[in-house]
Chain A
Amino acid sequence: MTRFVVRRFISMVLVLFAISVMTFLIFQVIPNGDPAQRMAGRLSTPETVAAIRRTWGFDDPIWQQYLTTMKKIFTGEVISYTQQVNVLDQIWQDLPATLSLAIGAGIIWLALGVLFGVLSALHAGHFTDRALTVAALVGVSTPVFLLGAVALYFLAFKVQLFPNGGYVPLTQDPLDWLYHMILPWLVLSVLFIGIYSRVLRSNMLDTMNEDYVRTARAKGISERRVLLRHVLRNSLIPIVSLWALDFAAVIGGGAILTESVFNLQGVGQYAAESIRQLDVPPVMVVVMLGAFFVVILSAVTDVIFALLDPRIRLAG
């Protein structure tokens, strides 16, 4: 087990390093034009550009530029020149909204995805299954920002069942927080519910043909117990590992579209606003930290799974 953890840790560190290099290349090296000019934004004075070139060391050799960039990101020195704010401070301030969105939505999409997947598998080929399949296809084909806009128009503007976007901190008013979060949670969940229910459906249908399921049936165990104890349990493993990755990706910036439609003022919306102004520094920091978060959480998930299931340890 220790060997597995050490090996997983080393590979994680390597991937983190590679991600930092790739982020650096994407933002500072690959595009045409002057990196200092890009950092400064569209409306910038020649003095700002010159100052940026000096502090970011864009005249240095390339490996030195990489070190300077990383040092700036990790010591929290990156400043948005367009918006005149410290990027890391802003991310820190926006984190609660992003976490609220991700955690609530994560619980909803796992629960409903499993529920609909089981229903679909149980009634495979019948009306419930077909209806759920159609719903899942529509859900997967609708961009989340469009769904959010439609939901806001009908449920917040026309009927006024929900507030018209915005975020209320949990510590300030828990009930109002919940009231503001329900619609974003549901909208963000739709796509994942569609994917998870279909993956679970096919996993369950595959598992039903396994020998041990036939054995369980042959022993005379009730059909309900066979499905829940033997089929569902084994079909859930890939779903849960999928969930861990998606959950990490949502926190790491994947909810950027939902956040900006519902004006949740989270990290994703901060990134979205920065993109709109083509303000490079915040986008760079959000992208890199987001990818870091996904990689770290996926390593943690792997270790947890190895603890639960020895077969993974041997295979990995």
Chain B
Amino acid sequence: MATVDSTVRAGAPARAPGADATAGLSPYRLGLRRLRRNKAALAFGALFLLIVVLCLCAPLYADHVAHTSPNANHVTDTVVVGGVRKDVVSPTGQPIGPTWQGRFLLGADQNGRDIAVRLLYGGRNSLEVGFLATLLTMVLATIVGIVAGFFRGFVDGVLARLLDLIWAFPVVLLGIALGTALALGGISIGPLHLQGNSLLVPAFIIGIVYIPYVAKPIRGQVLGLREQEFVDAARVGGAGPLRIMGSEILPNVAGTIIVFVPLMVANAILLEAALSFLGAGVQPPNPSWGTMISDGIRLIPSAMHLTFVPGLMLVLAVLGINVFGDGVRDALDPRAKVRLEEHAEEASR
């Protein structure tokens, strides 16, 4: 999105005024300053933040405005719209559309559940899966990338092959494989037991699937960093491998990690939606944007709001974090441009 930078490259003269004001500022300070100038990125970041806050307020909305819960059935209930009493779900099975009032603000689904309430609770689940998956990806990928790049040799060989193996599977395919296999029995990771219908299962799956897309670039960067003088200096100073990795290498790849976070959140939310749409993600009756779209898609001709409402919310959230992430990337590393996309391009098919 940083059009300023692209005009510079296309041959326009670089801007000179104020250049002295940047002297002595850390790269992150400079990045923050550039990000603050990027109004589009900030606006879209605010949009994403707004959606997050709205979804966090889901219980408040459910209790005080809609007076229902996300899985409560109102098939046989009626609601008064504009002085007229209407069925929530008509005798022919047609759910009510948006009423634009407290109850059934955005209509009901075929089970008579309040769409607006489910949208917020579903958003909570989608975002939770997205954030947890991103956290898992970033932590594991950073460790794997730094260790592989720092030690090279045998350790790198083993880790790189493992990454290649995950990489060889198309993202959605690996996701549905794990999703289908784990949906029935769940999984035990050491002392941690996940039930098949737990929200942590899709978060775990998505977190694993994206590791190579982050670990590979970090590893490449560490391969270069470990040859630098400051690493030698630390070694001469008596620092062990753990200390060098932690306090010499890690701060130098922090920029890459920061740039990847929004991109991964966007991709994780999209993959959650895709897996839930296919039935290999969030398991019913838990709502998520993906399961809501999946439920609604068969009824599109008669009740398109079932699909379009969660769909629009999903696109706005992902677009918000994507544009913001673009801004962060341009701000921290104006020359990197689309390089990251090449790595994560498989992400959202």
Contact = CB atoms under 8 A, between A and B. Distances in A.
Given A145-B293, A257-B278, 9 more contacts: A129-B3, A137-B1, A143-B348, A152-B300, A191-B348, A205-B6, A206-B337, A280-B180, A290-B170
B184 A284 contact: no
B307 interface: yes
Contact of A257 (B9, B183, B187, B277): B277
Interface of A: 15, 18-19, 22-23, 26-27, 30-34, 37-38, 42, 124-125, 129-130, 133, 137-138, 140-146, 149-150, 152-153, 157, 191, 195, 198-199, 201-202, 205-206, 208-209, 238, 242, 246, 249-250, 252-254, 256-257, 260-261, 271-272, 274-276, 278, 280, 283-284, 286-287, 290-291, 294-295
A125 B6 contact: yes
A153 B304 contact: yes
A137 B176 contact: no
Contacts of A209: 9
Contacts of A144: 274, 349
B168 interface: yes
A276 B181 contact: no
19 contacts: A15-B168, A125-B12, A141-B322, A143-B273, A143-B274, A143-B311, A143-B348, A153-B301, A195-B341, A199-B338, A205-B337, A250-B349, A252-B170, A253-B172, A261-B297, A274-B180, A275-B279, A278-B184, A283-B176
Contacts of A274: 180
A276 to B, nearest CB: 4
Contact of A146 (B7, B315, B349): B315
A271 B348 CA distance: 18
A23 B290 CA distance: 25
Given A33-B184, A125-B6, A256-B278, A287 B349 contact: no
A38 B177 contact: no
Given A242-B345, A272-B278, A26 B178 contact: yes
A276 B169 contact: no
A71 B105 CA distance: 56
A222 B182 CA distance: 60
A260 to B, nearest CB: 7
Interface string B283-298: 0000000100100010
B112 interface: no
A47 to B, nearest CB: 19
Interface residues of B, number: 63
A257 B172 CA distance: 9
Contact of A27 (B181, B301, B348): B181
Given A149-B293, A278-B180, A291 B169 contact: yes
Q: Which DSSP category, helix, strand, loop or mixed, fits chain B's interface?
A: helix
B278 A276 contact: yes
Given A19-B169, A275-B279, A141 B349 contact: no
B89 to A, nearest CB: 21
Contacts of A32: 185-188, 193
B179 interface: yes
Contacts of B266: 141
A276 B174 CA distance: 16
A140 B176 contact: no
B323 A278 contact: no
Contact of A254 (B12, B170, B270, B308): B170
A137 B338 contact: no
Contacts of A138: 315, 319
Given A152-B300, A257-B274, A142 B168 contact: no
Q: Lowest 6 A-B CB distances belong to which pairs?
A: A33-B185, A125-B7, A32-B185, A202-B338, A141-B319, A141-B318
